[in-house]
Amino acid sequence: MPVSAGGQGRISVVLAGGGTAGHVEPAMAVADALRALDADVRITALGTARGLETRLVPDRGYDLELITPVPLPRKPNADLMRLPLRVRRAVRETRAVLDAVHADVIVGFGGYVALPAYLAARRGVTRRSVPVVIHEANASAGIANKVGARSAARVLAAVDGSGLAAAEVVGMPVRSTITGLDRAALRAQARAHFGFAEDARVLLVFGGSQGAASINRAVSAAAETLAANGIAVLHAHGPKNVLELRTPGPGDPPYVAVPYLDRMDLAYAAADLAICRSGAMTVAEVSAVGLPAVYVPLPIGNGEQRLNALPVVNAGGGLLVADADLTPAYIGETVVGLLTDAPRLAQMTTAAAAVGHRDAAARVAAVALEIARGARR
């Protein structure tokens, strides 16, 4: 068996993708794909004490090493003045992790831990360099990945036009429980799980892990119209939000409101249409399972959520509506119109599935192993 510079027999991969679910989930999908390709691979995730990775990574059975977070301020402020000190500390901590695990390759996904990882990977007077593979999830690349891409061994992206030169489009890494989902085969079980009739028309509503107040208000205000048209609703409103719902009338289809959905696979299988934000992970999952969607981009930031949804929308797999334009009237007309038009929903299902990349995690994992083995040679 080949031996790395650190004297370890098995390939060692460090995943740098902490902070938000949009960074952690693709990292975990790649971790699973790495294990599927090489059961002996050593996987270490970098994270910070304040990120979702403190729960998500151990729950998936992977090792987590914590470093100092390095948030990159968008505007001049006090955090910007403290940035150099934080970067130096985080880089020093990351180098210690790379040495301890005898890292053969770093796979970075952007976020608080990515920049220190990219800087720590560089060759020094007394240390070897560690090759870097970058994956950019959004249609507009973040600062960390723009910096890391300058010296990366390979640059991958979820969609075209990310702003990273020579990026290879591979799609968004998504967990196998989603990419392997057969919505039609699971539909009856999924609808029974949530209390819907097998022949129900179901609208799925969610706004990310924390919910989306504007989506919550618009859909809950349209509850009477939805019920009058025979449409059942599965609504994940977020753990900190509360919905104000009318008292159901006799014979109304169920309006199931929950703080959080632990079984997104069943939610996707139960639904005919979704109303959701258009973060990179959301768009990737929804299109991978072939679920038509009304995408409502987050109205703040640099517009990347709108860009994330455009490939699916342009292909005919979804609609795009501005946050301010998602009103009860829009839901009563456009959304109800879609849910009562079976042929159009079927066309949108086919279009969405055609855009989705079900093999993205395996492709990123294969590139990481290729780079790691090449570095050993």
Binding-site sequence positions for UDP-N-acetyl-alpha-D-glucosamine: 20-22, 138, 175, 209, 305
Q: Which of 164, 165, 168, 144 is nearest to 156 (CA)?
A: 168
Residue located via tokens 């990123």? 364
Are residues 205 and 234 in contact, defined by beta-carbon separation less than 8 angstroms?
yes
DSSP per residue over 26-85, as a string?
HHHHHHHHHHHH-TT-EEEEEE-TTSTHHHHHHHTT-EEEE-------SS-SHHHHHHHH
How many Cα atoms sit within 13 Å of 358 on the Cβ side? 13
Contact 117, 18 (CB under 8 A): no
Total count of residues recorded for the chain: 377
Angle between helices 21-37 and 280-288 (to 10 degrees): 50
CB 306 within 8 A of CB 320: yes
Neighbours of 192 (CB within 10 A): 13
Residues 6+ apart with CB under 8 A from 81: none
Q: Is 321 helix (H, G, I), strand (E, B) or coil?
A: coil
Q: What does each C-alpha distance from 351 to 99, 160, 215 come to in angstroms?
A: 46, 18, 24
Which residues contribute to the annotated binding site?
20-22, 138, 175, 209, 305
Residue 295 forms beta bridges with which residues? 276, 320
